[in-house]
Amino acid sequence: MPAGARPRAPALGALAGGRRHLQDLPAPGRGRVGAPGGEVPAHGVHRRQTAGRRGGVRGEGGRCGGEPVGRGLLQGADRPVNFAKLHGAGNDFLLFDGRDEPALADELPPRVPGLCHRRFGLGADGALLVLPTGPASARVAYWNGDGSEAAFCANGTRCAARFIAARWGWREMVLATGYASIAAAVRGEQVTLLLPAAGEVRPWQEFALGDAAARGRYLVVGVPHLIVRVSWPDFWRRDLAPLAPALRRHPDLPAGGANVSFLQVEGERNLGVRSWERGVEGETLSCGSGDVAAAAVAVAEGWVEPPVEVRTASERVLTVEPQGPPLASPLRLSGPAEWVAEGTVRPELLTGRPS
């Protein structure tokens, strides 16, 4: 390779043995009906059924499973619990202030699936609880919509910073997450995070899927991500369900799988990114850490120049700027965290008692 040249991703060509790369396939047509698991798309890749997966209702920001909230939150108290709902580029969350109810830290987690349910609850991709730990510092706990706890959610952390700014008056803060302590700054609706360098960066890898394959790169930005570059004329309309679930739980990934983000280059500093998230088990309108991972990979490969503007499925734009070599330096993420609503959760919802 000539001096100063940037490495390029492997070409998206045909695989040995006659496999085709899914990135290059046209939109699937209708396939045969009656095969196990239902209809099989014409290209031969079908959606996997995941054992033990909860059913859910698809909503505007994604899909959240779970049952209606059961008894026991706050030990059956009759008082309502305050909440706020915010979204980061369409990725929506319920926010709770741990100062209001000390019992929330222990009793909120099992109620998250019901609270996030888009028919029986308030509807969200996840929930966060914030607790102050010192001057301008707080702990942020995050649960996916299915109730599973995650070490980090970038859009959720941006929403937590906006929530804290409104409730506690802080404009700059350090937020302790299960991933790392994250510096955050709030300027109106705009929230900026400074994230540590990506970890566990793997080489490009081919992921076999029946008679086809996808080429992706695995890395960790708070949580695991698989980045797949595509060139789809119908990028924003393409149904991800025939492809994304199999990649999200692919056996060649580490235990627990990964979020899957599909990126498409749209300009010298512009990407389009769509993400299929763990814990939601569906597409969300944005995955902040997935957008960061996609931008870092794209800059490292020379596909775009920083700072990178990432267009999300919500049409909101997030800005990602590596602070040095993109896969070995801190990463700055900026974008809107928008207030949707605030109010109280009725005791009937919290305890399961009929109104």
Is 159 an active-site residue?
no
Q: 95 in a domain, yes or no?
A: yes
Same domain, 180 and 220: no
> CB neighbours of 281 closer than 8 A, spacing ≥ 6?
50, 53, 56, 63, 65, 146, 245, 248
What's the pLDDT at 197? 98
The Cα 288–Cα 318 span in angstroms is 8
Q: Of all residues in the chain, what percent carry a pLDDT higher than 70?
A: 75
What average pLDDT does range 238-262 have in this prediction?
96
List the domain range (segments joined by +) for residue 99: 81-194+341-349
Q: Are residues 88 and 174 in the same domain?
A: yes
Report in angstroms the alpha-carbon separations of 180 from 184, 223, 279: 12, 11, 20
- Domain presence at residue 155: yes
As for how many domains the chain has, the answer is 2
238 with 284, same domain: the answer is yes
Task: Looking at the structure, tell me whether residues 190 and 226 fall in a common domain.
Answer: no
Enclosing H/E stretch for 144: strand 137-144
Residue 189 and residue 258 in one domain: no
Residue 85 placed within a domain? yes
Annotated active-site residue 153? The verdict is yes
Do 256 and 135 belong to one domain?
Answer: no
Beta bridge partners of 277: 282
Residues 132, 172 share a domain: yes
pLDDT given for residue 80 in this prediction: 78
Of 64, 116, 159, 287, the catalytic one is 287
In a domain, 318, yes or no: yes
| pLDDT tens track for 138-194 | 999 999 999 999 999 999 999 999 999 999 999 999 999 999 999 999 999 999 999
CATH of the domain at 154: 3.10.310.10
Catalytic residue among 64, 116, 153, 159: 153
State whether 246 and 186 are in the same domain. Answer: no
**Crossing angle of helices 288-300 and 154-168, rounded to 10°:** 130
How open is the CA angle 111-346-93, to the nearest 5 degrees?
50
Please indicate, yes or no, if residue 52 is contained in any of the structural domains. Answer: no
Q: Are residues 175 and 227 in the same domain?
A: no
Q: How far apart are CA 198 and CA 222, in angstroms?
A: 8
176 is a domain residue: yes
Model pLDDT, residue 183: 98
pTM over 0.95: no
At residue 264, does pLDDT exceed 80?
Answer: yes
Say if residue 232 is in the same domain as residue 322.
yes
Residue 61 domain-assigned? no
Is residue 20 in a domain? no
